[in-house]
Structure 1
Amino acid sequence: MSYIVDVYFWILKILVAFLMAAMVVLVFGNVVLRYGFNSGITLSEEVSRWMFVWLTFLGAIIAMRERGHLGVDSLVRRLPLWGKKLCFTASYLLMLYATSLLFIGSWQQTLINWDVVAPASGLSVAFFYGVGLVFGVSTIPILLVGLYRALAGELDAAKLVTVQESEEGNIDEIQERHLASPAGAPVLVAVPVTSRRQP
């Protein structure tokens, strides 16, 4: 089961990279065509905007699993174990509630806009709102599993802190996460670099 989950999130990372590259091509290519050749890509603005929304939501799913969301943890880190568990449970319940609302709203908007066609691309606008469904289906199980593990006492004090104050993660955690990636997946290993003064 964990292998399937790893493969799923590896696919999400590939999609994020593809969306980023496609956005660069569409936006930069449109600028070059517009100013250099008095032409342009008709659907560039619309499709790149949709790609940006999908990129944001997919990235949030990945960050949720890898505990990569930024926040202020200075208070939580000073609490005793029961305080950390209480804050963890409260935050996960609030996130479950917010994600459920987002999922329900996205489902309703997807149904409403199923037959609405975007002006430039001709795609169904339901595709735009569908990212909320993907986000909900992917994130709600992460939150439920995390909540269960916290209530069952499977998480230590360090794992009960769900945010980090800077983008620089723990090198050991990054190495462990990427070394455990599925077979055949590209492995990224962060290696600390130290400088020495020559005598």
Structure 2
Amino acid sequence: MRQNPARRTALLDAAVEVLAREGSRGLTLRAVDTEAQVPKGTTTNYFAHRAELLAQVMTRIQERLTPDEGQLAATMQEKPSAELTATLLKQLHQRMRADRSSWLALMELRLEATRRPELHAELTRFFTAQLDGNIAFHLDSGLPGDRITVVLLYLAMLGLIIDDLTVPDLLAPYPIDQLIEEMTRRLLPSAQ
């Protein structure tokens, strides 16, 4: 397998775009070559098969959606509070809107995982690590609430993001930032 990191990243980014636009059935090694505008067979030189590509796409999406360290550090200068939690959730939502393709690709992977046990196991590990990381960050930062609170915030934000990215007219009458503020106020014990 080839080891050019920049080319591998470009191929993974192309795979994210294909997944978001065409769905999992449209994701072929040849489609990635076309999207990345590389010679046919290039993706095959980097990924032995589609399953390997899918596994690495999850990691690439995580990289793309991870908050900027400088912005996060600046945000975390504030005192832990419900308001800070709402700010973090608003920033999460902004990242999702800014990289809509990554979120749509993740949703496609979720659907594909219902049909492929090996992907289901991999995706379960991936999302478990993500959720555990979010819980640890929240608790270690001294933000209000416990593990269950973080899971409830995760579930509420997941629903909000899915609707906002797939059927935005549904939430159009409700300002997203206000929904996030109200959700945070209602879910966090110190905000009541």
TM-score in same-fold range (> 0.5): no
Asked which structure has the greater CA Rg, the reply is: 1
Higher helix share: 2
Normalising by the residue count of structure 2, what TM-score does the alignment of the two structures yield? 0.30
TM-score (norm 1): 0.29
